[in-house]
Amino acid sequence: MHKMLVEKEVQPHRRSGLMTYRPKMAKKLLRKSPSSSNKFNSANMTDDFQLHLDSSDDDAPEEVTFEESKASALRSMKNALETSKREKDLLKEKRRKRQELFQEQKKRRLLPAHILEEIDTAPAKKQKLPGDQAESNHEEASCSWEEGREGSKEGYEKETKKGFKGNIRSLKGNYSVMRVADQSSTNSQQQTAMDFIQARLYGPGSQRTTNNELLSLENKRGPNKSAAMQFVNKKWGTEKKAKAEKLKKQWIQKQKVPSS
Amino acid sequence: MGEFKVHRVRFFDYMPTAIRAMAFNAHTERLALARMDGSVEIFNFTDHYFQEKVIPGKDSRSTESLCWVGGRLFSAGLNGEITEYDLENLRPKYSLEAYGGPIWTIISNTQGTQLAIGCEDGTVKLFEVLEEHIQFERNLDRQKGRIISLSWHPSGTHIAAGMMDMIRVFDVPTGHAVQRLLVDRGFGGSKSQETVVWSVAFLSDHTVVSGDSAGKVQVWDGHTGTLVKTHLVTKWDVLALSVSKDESSVVAGTSEGTVIQFQFIAPTLHQQQDKEWVRTRTFKNHTHDVRALAEIETAIVSGGMDTHLVVRPLLEKFDEKSHASGLRKIHFPHRNLVSCAKKAGLLLFQFPGQLELWRLGDSDGHGENHTHTHTHGLTLTFSSPGSRQPIHLMTTSVDGKWLAAANSDCEIRVYNLQKLKLHCIVPVYGSCPSAMGIHPTTNNMTVVHADQQLFEYSIVEKQYTDWSRKLQKQGLHNVWLDRDTPVTHVTFNPKNPNQVVLHDMHMFCIIDQSLPLPDQKTQFYNQMTLRSLSEQERPSHLHAFKICKTFQDLLCVSLLDDQSLVVVERPLLAITSQLPAPVRQKKFAT
């Protein structure tokens, strides 16, 4: 039991700052073990521990009573239990905070509540109109709103307010509002199929080249021979050209330094 | 023509999407095209290949195949759903989940009663085509590999399915696989890779023609299951096949960008030899993979990763070499993507998912990006009573009084915006209008149609103007009528009320109504000759159509209030540089 406690104490906990590393306690226990083990007749560990102890003292080991060691053992066990409980509590806190953060983010991504309300009530009114009603699970409604980014949200709100000023109710057409981002994106099977086509046409063994080379060959074989596309068209290969410039400057510097 | 300061705009990064599939409807003469971004386009082949309708889409649909059943259009994609399109409201009518995993292909039988789809899980599913929807009928025997391509025998009794390393022939009434045709793998390194049979065609005499990833076009006997002939056409994949209606010709599209024609003819003229499938022509009209192919009566239509649609008329079907027998390439959409605010000097660019607003800069020609807004695309399609076709073109007058709207039925209606009612209907002309503009002062509407005819209609008087009647009586010059891209934008010169500015992809033209009209004998492109003539000689050679071809690949030409010209170009080379990788071809001495 002593040994178990010793190991637990020695590991420093990174997460909770409450747990302190107690080398002294460990050493104390370590020191105590030979005496107590002597008392309990487990002499195996004593030799190993003896080597690690800075026992420059050839004196006799300290006298420790059984009550003392029992008390310290109980104390350390209680501490261990306490620390584990604290850890669990901390983890719970963290999870709760994360959940809250996600909720907040979700709320932020949704349209402001009043707009959603208006949208919900408008189609409800349209139910009374006669004629065919389009199913709202059409993938492309005749009026679909794409989710705006943070920056464009104000502009988006202004637009909706303007739009809802009145004329939109007079439209006879059917429309359903849905966010493109809500539609399920490619599932795994679809992704596998797309990867299959991509691998067959553009994967290894497909012997592909670049558009630059295609156009450069045309330049080379054409009636008016001219340079490769990347040189003719200044906008191409800007990174490569920039890198080449840098290397050239470095080389020139290198040339200058040994000569000077 | 005068001198103009030109704002040459090249920062519109318009990027078209690759063509994935096409289907031709012989009854209505419409071609449906599916692109990689999920959009579907309908071209009217009787009206100078005009792009009639565009149904926008989204990537996740990943359309793989299109199919016409009567007048109804169906598509199937890797998202596992069959979608039927509402061509009057330009949206998908409904989507049916097929529960077979990603769908690779969809075909219909010649009677138009059934649809078959090939799924990733190895099943061929049959659907019954009913009045307003489709209904699942049954599965054919499930196979171990994925079904990449399907072809229905004209009688409707058998279906050939192209899978990995083999082709299976199914008997439709029982659902069992009756034949198995084994396809060889490629040579060398590709022996370890399974051969994908990208495309099959089932002919009435039970011949199966297949195109696979090893670059072979193979002809099989469907009754006995034996290989009749192999043609190795390319080192890369044969991605698409199409059979002509009379089954005498089969065309194959490859990853190299070539389209190869095979014809069922007797190889030599000497004796009464048996006919066989002989490789006849090779067309190289594409730089990247050809993924969609259709052979129609008089032409071969191909499209692929290089995003343009090529119509190659077959010369043997034409008696004489005319405008109709020339090669047609359709690069840009047949509608205007750029709006110009004349007074403020602003340009608005239309992208599939966003709008960009730019301000034109000063003489150094750089434009500042004023606002880069990611707004939604609001599409409202509404049609007036009488016609149910969608409106594809609208224009308003500068004083805000009139609105003209044109629909796919070639009807143009003019509405009075102050009274909010219909003002008049322009007499219907046989061809679809491709561009309209209303004059700022006279309120005369200039309409250009897909067949390059030009009309001017007075809204106030509700009749054609005198100038328009004069033009029609004289007839337009042949060179004007022979142009192969439609006019997409009509605008006017604020300082000179006689001038109309319009452009198509390769030229822009200023029509001066005060000058005489050219007759058939005058030189049409006469700007260069006029420059060389002296001041006295010029007036006698002037005519109304002044054409400039300095700027190419035009998306918009407009005149600002300060008499400067805005030219928005999108060089095709810039588009090619951003396409996916082409195949590496080793040419001699490179």
Q: What is the pLDDT of residues A198-230, one digit of tens each?
A: 999 998 878 889 888 888 888 888 888 888 887
Going by C-alpha positions, the residue among B262, B200, B266, B194 that lies closest to residue B231 is B262
Partner-chain residue, chosen from A173, A215, A221, that has the shortest CB–CB distance to B590: A221
pLDDT beyond 50 at A123? yes
B485, two tokens:
């891209």
Q: What is the mean pLDDT of residues B484-508?
A: 92
Going by C-alpha positions, the residue among B569, B559, B570 that lies closest to residue B5 is B559
Which of B60, B121, B195, B355 has the highest number of chain A CBs within 10 A, making it the mutation to test binding with A? B60
pLDDT beyond 50 at B203? yes
Give the amino acid at A203: G
Pairing of strands B30-35, B40-44: antiparallel
pLDDT at A168: 44
A vs B, Cβ pairs < 8 A, gives 124
Partner-chain residue, chosen from A138, A142, A214, that has the shortest CB–CB distance to B380: A142
Which range, of B65-74, B518-527, B554-563, averages the lowest pLDDT? B518-527
User: For residue A181, what pLDDT band results from cuts at 50, 70 and 90?
Assistant: low
Chain A neighbors of B101, CB-CB under 8 A: 189, 193
Which range, of A121-135, A219-233, B100-114, B467-481, averages the lowest pLDDT? A121-135
Which range, of A126-140, A219-233, B433-447, B491-505, averages the lowest pLDDT? A126-140
Are B544 and B318 in contact by the 8 Å Cβ rule? The answer is no
**CB B380 to CB A210 under 8 A?**
no
**CB B375 to CB A186 under 8 A?**
no
Partner-chain residue, chosen from A180, A192, A213, that has the shortest CB–CB distance to B58: A180
pLDDT at B59: 78
d(CA B34, CA B47): 20
Phi-psi category of A11—alpha, beta or left, where left has phi over 0 and alpha has psi -120 to 50? Answer: beta
What is this model's ipTM?
0.85
Residue B582 C-alpha, separation from nearest chain A C-alpha, in angstroms: 6
Chain B neighbors of A186, CB-CB under 8 A: 60, 62, 78-79
Q: What is the mean pLDDT of residues B294-305?
A: 94
User: For residue B296, what pLDDT band results from cuts at 50, 70 and 90?
Assistant: very high
Are B220 and B254 in contact by the 8 Å Cβ rule? The answer is no
User: For residue B189, what pLDDT band results from cuts at 50, 70 and 90?
Assistant: low
Cβ contacts of B312 within 8 Å, gap of 6 or more: B259, B283, B285, B299, B300, B301, B302, B327
pLDDT at A112: 67
**CB A217 to CB B378 under 8 A?**
no
Element (H, E) at B573: helix B572-576
| Backbone dihedral angles phi then psi of residue B508, each to the nearest 5 degrees | -125, 150
What chain B residue is nearest to A186 in terms of C-alpha separation?
B60
Which of A135, A189, A201 has the highest number of chain B CBs within 10 A, making it the mutation to test binding with B? A201
d(CA B331, CA B310): 9
Model confidence pLDDT, tens digit, residues B4-44: 788 899 889 999 999 999 999 999 999 999 999 999 999 99
**CB A207 to CB B583 under 8 A?**
yes
Chain A neighbors of B235, CB-CB under 8 A: 207
Model confidence pLDDT, tens digit, residues B361-385: 764 444 555 444 444 443 434 445 6
pLDDT at B386: 65
Is residue A168 less than 8 Å (CB to CB) from chain B? no
Q: What is the mean pLDDT of residues B173-202?
A: 88
User: For residue B65, what pLDDT band results from cuts at 50, 70 and 90?
Assistant: very high
User: pTM for the complete prediction?
Assistant: 0.75
pLDDT at B124: 96
pLDDT at A260: 63
pLDDT beyond 90 at A167? no
Q: What is the mean pLDDT of residues A49-69?
A: 70
Residue A114 C-alpha, separation from nearest chain B C-alpha, in angstroms: 20
d(CA A24, CA B403): 91
Is residue A205 less than 8 Å (CB to CB) from chain B? yes
From residue B323, alpha-carbon distances to B30, B45, B48, B347, B505 in Å are 20, 14, 11, 36, 18
Which range, of A45-59, B200-214, B302-316, B404-418, averages the lowest pLDDT? A45-59
Is pLDDT larger for residue B462 or for residue B269? B462
pLDDT at A119: 72
Model confidence pLDDT, tens digit, residues B400-415: 899 999 988 899 999 9
Interface of A with B in 65-124 (CB under 8 A): none
Model confidence pLDDT, tens digit, residues B412-425: 999 988 888 889 99
User: For residue A128, what pLDDT band results from cuts at 50, 70 and 90?
Assistant: very low
User: For residue A111, what pLDDT band results from cuts at 50, 70 and 90?
Assistant: low
d(CA B69, CA B233): 32
Is residue A156 less than 8 Å (CB to CB) from chain B? yes
Q: Tell me how many helices (H) and strands (E) chain B has.
A: 5, 47
Model confidence pLDDT, tens digit, residues B424-462: 999 999 999 999 999 999 999 999 999 999 999 999 999
Chain A neighbors of B379, CB-CB under 8 A: 142-143
Going by C-alpha positions, the residue among B269, B274, B304 that lies closest to residue B290 is B304
Bridge partners (DSSP) listed for residue A63: none
User: For residue A144, what pLDDT band results from cuts at 50, 70 and 90?
Assistant: very low
Are B530 and B543 in contact by the 8 Å Cβ rule? The answer is no
Partner-chain residue, chosen from B56, B378, B581, that has the shortest CB–CB distance to A202: B581
Which range, of A2-6, A130-134, B115-119, B163-167, averages the lowest pLDDT? A130-134
Residue A141 C-alpha, separation from nearest chain B C-alpha, in angstroms: 8
Please give the mean pLDDT across all residues of chain A.
Answer: 68
Residue A218 C-alpha, separation from nearest chain B C-alpha, in angstroms: 10
Partner-chain residue, chosen from B60, B196, B373, that has the shortest CB–CB distance to A186: B60
Chain B neighbors of A155, CB-CB under 8 A: 373, 375
Residue A17 C-alpha, separation from nearest chain B C-alpha, in angstroms: 47
Partner-chain residue, chosen from A171, A189, A209, that has the shortest CB–CB distance to B582: A209
